Chain A
Amino acid sequence: MKFRGKIIDVACLNHFTRVITTISKLTKMCVLRLTPDNLFFVLSGKVANGGVSMWCELSQANFFDEYQMEGVSSEDNEICLEVTPENLSRALKTVQNAKAVKVKLTKKHCPCLTIAAELPTLSSASRVVTHDVPVDVIPRRLWHEFKEPNMPDFDVSIYLPPLKTMKNIVDRMKNLSNFLVIEANLNGEMNLKIETDLVSVTTHFKDLGNPPWGDDASQDGGASQSRDPEAMVEARVDIRRLQQFLMGQQVNPSKAMCNIVHQRVVHLILLHEDVSLQYFIPAVA
């Protein structure tokens, strides 16, 4: 298994760092899948992390100037590593002004992703910084746990309001309740509701717009057309999961959407030019 990548462009490095920092705010550990064309950061939904799962896809060509990899074998030309994204984020943050940053898979005291950079200085010689981020290689037999998730058979899909606004609201609601209900309809309306014995609070959003997925998006072809646009579909989620998602966002996405499967799951999708991030929060009773 081999991997070597090099980032030269300062903006690419910056963007890459911000993506990894966002991931680090969502989860302590995740799986990094390397393929010839893409990098994926994957978190599979397990009871331990409250059933949330995450899928983040980056196209390597948009970030790396040089990218070479050799997977486990020629049929399975992929590398799967378990990594702590916060370590990667910390390492990358210190080398933002580097002339070039190399990322390599190495074996030091254990398998590591080594981030090596040359930093410019006033004198002729340059400074060299190396960070060895320990990783765990995931054996092939477990790869099936980290596949791309299927688009759920959602009932409603809606564009999200500005994430900052949502975050402010959710932050305050968190003080009142542990659970929040997200409901939306095909008329571009979304509500965030909390309800306790003493108080219930609802925030209404209007005119959000619904993504034009079309018939092929929903497997259950007929249902979406016959759905009453005013009818609300809802899911009740752990508010901390939603807050965690909103807290981590560092960049404004070009598109931010939410798919809801009634009382089953909330599927959040953020699309940037070269990165897509999907986050699944299961509904609770």
Chain B
Amino acid sequence: MKCVLEGNGVKAFGKAIHALSRIGEDLWLDPMVKGLALRSVNVAHSAYSCFLFSPLFFQHYSLGSASEQGNETIKCKLVMKSVLPLFRCLTSIERSVERCQISLSASSDQVIIQFFCRHGITKTHNLRFQESEALQAVFASHLCPNVVKAPARLLGDMVMHFPASQEEITLSMTPLRVSLRNYYEGGNDHMRTMYTEMSLHPDEFDYFQVGMESDITFCLKELRGFLSFAESHCLPVSVHFGAAGKPVCFSMEDMVLEATVVLATLIDSENSGPSQPTGTPVSSPRCADAAALTVVSHGADSTKPQDTPAVTELIASSQGSPIIKPPALIQLLPQTDNPDGLGVPGEACAGATTTPASTTICSLLFRALSSEQDDDGCAARLPVLACYSDTEEDMEGDYTRSPSL
């Protein structure tokens, strides 16, 4: 894959990387026909973000020729710490970088990022990547009872009332009012912490649909980078969510890019503001708790109950993610034939988690990206990680677990 960005595109790309860096420590580059996707997942698998830049975003965008790539997709995982510094200072990028070229090929293990700057200076960065299947959050946004669409600055204005260090936040929605308040899980500081609540009228949203009144608590820190991107591009943000425990999805799009953040929410739904949680207090921020996760690519966990959703529901909001043909994926998953099952990811999660119910974050349901479908529509062969086989793919989902998951 080779792509060229120019001027403002470099800045936007850098800003996307900033937003993704708030989520996880690794960055997946996923070049596809429909564009270049950047993805990140946090360690606890409770936050996922994807920025998909369509080919129109780039001055030049080409995937390798079919022969070069063969049937393999490039599965490129970079360490965020090595990518972020390249794009850290956006103002200086704006000033001095004229063009940026990113090249990636399956044959080498390096991503080459070149900045062509003013005064004829070229900076070339070679970054080693790891072959690793990217994860993608499974989220059926069209099943969400609650949908709001906020104009660009609104969410940013809402969260600015909370300090930068605020970990978690509770969003409440009723037909009359939307409110945000900070969430503290108790402990010594309970009496000393400052509580903030802000509420606004549904009229302030571009679109407001309340299927059910709900309070969801999620990690604000992971969202801030995304909101800052939305504000800087003046893009409205759509929020899809349901009851507490089910994930919440923030998304934005314009002509050339789509971006999503999916965050897990706390299951404990009777918490409201500063009440004490009933479960064991945890010292680390809740969002970082590694609740047991249904990562569907783990073929090894086939003993799990049938709790994965029917494939047809996968990523319906389709933030640029490829939809897998049903038979292939069902083959892989522990659940084999439930084509009609409209399993909602949240419920599935609740069953799968092993931590104490009252303190668990319902984690996100993930599945591995698979390669693009064969044209003849036959059962897709899900690729095996390169370290296990160079050229041949195994059928039937002899799917090896990615070491990083």
User: Does B194 lie within 8 Å of A132, measured CB to CB?
Assistant: yes
- Against B, the Cβ 8 Å flags (1 = close, 0 = not) of A102-133 are 00000011101000000001111111111111
Among B160, B196, B204, find the residue whose CB has the most chain A CB atoms closer than 10 A.
B196
**In angstroms, how far is the closest chain B Cβ from the Cβ of A135?**
10
**In angstroms, how far is the closest chain B Cβ from the Cβ of A140?**
22
Q: Which residues of chain B have a CB within 8 Å of any CB of chain A? A: 160-161, 163, 190-201, 203-204, 274
Cα A108 to Cα B204 in complex, Å, equals 29
Cα A91 to Cα B194 in complex, Å, equals 9
Q: How many residues of A contact B (CB 8 A)?
A: 23
Any chain B CB within 8 A of the CB of A263? no
A-B contact count (CB 8 A): 58
**In angstroms, how far is the closest chain B Cβ from the Cβ of A62?**
26
Q: A125-B203, A129-B197 are in contact. List 4 more A-B contacts (CB 8 A).
A: A108-B195, A124-B203, A125-B200, A130-B195
Cα A131 to Cα B193 in complex, Å, equals 11
User: Which 6 pairs of residues, A with B, have the shortest CB-CB distance?
Assistant: A125-B201, A132-B195, A129-B198, A123-B203, A127-B200, A94-B161
**In angstroms, how far is the closest chain B Cβ from the Cβ of A32?**
15
Q: Which residues of chain A have a CB within 8 Å of any CB of chain B? A: 84, 87, 90-91, 94, 108-110, 112, 121-134
**In angstroms, how far is the closest chain A Cβ from the Cβ of B206?**
11
Q: Do A123 and B191 form a contact, CB below 8 Å, given A94-B161, A128-B198, A130-B196?
A: no
Residues of B within 8 A of A109 (CB): 190-191, 195, 274
Cα A129 to Cα B180 in complex, Å, equals 9
User: Does B191 lie within 8 Å of A130, measured CB to CB?
Assistant: no
Cα A127 to Cα B160 in complex, Å, equals 13
Residues of A within 8 A of B200 (CB): 121, 125, 127-128
Neighbour of A90 across the interface among B190, B192, B194, B198, CB < 8 A: B194
By beta carbon, the residue of chain B nearest A94 is: B161
Residues of A within 8 A of B204 (CB): 121-123, 125, 127
Among A121, A124, A125, A127, find the residue whose CB has the most chain B CB atoms closer than 10 A.
A127
Residues of A within 8 A of B193 (CB): 134
Residues of A within 8 A of B163 (CB): 90
5 contacts across the A-B interface (CB closer than 8 A): A108-B274, A109-B190, A109-B274, A130-B198, A134-B194
